[in-house]
A and B are shown apart, each in its own frame.
Chain A
């Protein structure tokens, strides 16, 4: 057959067009490619499912014998029969509060300045590039910073009783870790606000501050919130920096009746630190406890990320 074109088909008449449109072509290569992609997906999914199933199955004995409440509410102990995760749970919660209280205002403010006030300046470009690099720095490096600065140099302030190995040091170490992620996420969210909204506000006589406060921030808020939650999720799972600044891995007694400042300046533990320590213990019983601890962390992380996804989807629809 001579080379065909849509135009020549059309000139030949309706029958030729019908033949051209209905002649099915077998797309073998496309099919192979699609199958290959599917295989890759299934392999990675399989690894994940095996890991998850192994952990969940390993933890079953703990849920059966102890129950969730007892496991979470019991204090740390060297005796696997009574060991719980309470101090670590409590420590992680306060650490996250620290991260939010420190990193969020700093990070959001930085992002607003970079995007809204200095968007085109050379300085902003340099800072932007550096923040991106910071986000990629291994977390252990932040741990070293924390060890040198908050534990050694400022130990008398952060935790005079415990040689600086306090909750405050832990929080101050984790906050800079979360900061770049928050800045990047907030900057993305601000950049995603259409310029038309800024023009609209400026056009009716809003000042730059009013434009940001009344229009840009509300529109960017869900995106910023999502970034905050994701960064908190990341800080939540970090073990290495906390080990360096002295997260407690075995039993310790919280001074009973001590004030909030004492708690902050006191010794602390955190969930990922506990995973690290328990997994190294020789007793067989701690295997199940570690698995249970991991399940608790996974559920919490899932909840955190789920909230982020929910927020993003809900507000994206409105725009």
Chain B
């Protein structure tokens, strides 16, 4: 049928202009990160650069150490007495595990949102105001309103700021936790499977919120939901479990732009995982 020849393509397709990754500076430089709990090595030899004003997703099967890595970024692992952290986590060039670094100050800069919504059993206002108050911020009313607005919760709660944060729905509670984290005006927000306890619509709202906020904040999100990583993130790090004679340990397999990871990953292990041919 087709009796004609295709014209030769002369125009080279140059690199897509919307890839502006190079203008983003590095927030975290993780080098040779190894974490052990007692005699168990959770994750070994992770090298990862996390860029400013981007959403970086950490994905991989259960036990691959992605949450462990996340919790190293604001020294949350300090709460686990048996945890030992090796290697370097440079935050704007400063090793946050240096003995001279105050972990409390680290956590003020690097906020966290947890798997299960965990508002304080206090009023909505107090939930948001708390972090700002202990940080010595004066204009609490302003901070509370701004944080709740950024978390897309203000309109829903502005008339009941005195009611308990526990009375909100799961999705609202999680947005309250995001507002609470925003109140200290952090540089980075760590999200540890923030939607795993939420229904699909509440999940999409949180994702939408992250996309709204990423012009101002750097996000690192751990998720066991690959589709979520695909939808929301700019870069994706895929972790996997390696079985060694010393036991199972997590390691970083591949780290690249998200569309690359999900359309043509360079490692077979990643390909097997995202196509469900895992294990």
Do chains A and B interact in one complex?
yes
| Contacts from A to B (Cβ < 8 Å) | 119-120, 194-207, 210, 214-215, 218-219, 318-319
Main secondary structure of the interface of A (DSSP, over half): helix
What residues of chain B lie closer than 8 Å to A204, measured between beta carbons?
107-108, 111, 130-131, 134, 180-181, 183-184
What residues of chain A lie closer than 8 Å to B134, measured between beta carbons?
204-206, 210, 214
B183 touches A197 (CB 8 A): no
B79 touches A200 (CB 8 A): no
Alpha-carbon distance between A199 and B183 when the two chains are bound, in angstroms: 16
What residues of chain B lie closer than 8 Å to A203, measured between beta carbons?
74, 76, 107, 111-112, 114, 181
Asked if B259 is an interface residue, CB under 8 A from chain A, the answer is no
A194 touches B118 (CB 8 A): yes
Asked if B273 is an interface residue, CB under 8 A from chain A, the answer is no
What residues of chain A lie closer than 8 Å to B131, measured between beta carbons?
204-206
- The chain A residue with its CB closest to the CB of B177 is A200
Q: For this complex, into which size category does the number of interface residues on chain B fall?
A: 20 to 34
Asked if B216 is an interface residue, CB under 8 A from chain A, the answer is no
Alpha-carbon distance between A120 and B82 when the two chains are bound, in angstroms: 9
Whole-angstrom distance between the Cβ of A206 and the nearest chain B Cβ: 6
A198 touches B79 (CB 8 A): yes
CB pairs A–B below 8 angstroms (20 shown): A119-B81, A120-B81, A194-B118, A195-B79, A197-B121, A198-B79, A199-B79, A199-B112, A199-B114, A203-B114, A203-B181, A204-B111, A205-B104, A205-B105, A206-B130, A206-B131, A206-B134, A207-B104, A210-B134, A318-B121
Total A-B Cβ pairs within 8 A: 69
B121 touches A319 (CB 8 A): yes
What residues of chain A lie closer than 8 Å to B184, measured between beta carbons?
204-205
Whole-angstrom distance between the Cβ of B173 and the nearest chain A Cβ: 11
Whole-angstrom distance between the Cβ of A157 and the nearest chain B Cβ: 43
What residues of chain A lie closer than 8 Å to B118, measured between beta carbons?
194, 196-197, 199-200
Asked if B203 is an interface residue, CB under 8 A from chain A, the answer is no
Alpha-carbon distance between A318 and B120 when the two chains are bound, in angstroms: 11
- The chain B residue with its CB closest to the CB of A318 is B121
Q: Which of B114, B116, B130, B135 contacts A214 (CB 8 A)?
A: B130
What residues of chain B lie closer than 8 Å to A318, measured between beta carbons?
121, 164, 166
- The chain B residue with its CB closest to the CB of A118 is B81
Asked if B119 is an interface residue, CB under 8 A from chain A, the answer is yes
Whole-angstrom distance between the Cβ of A171 and the nearest chain B Cβ: 36
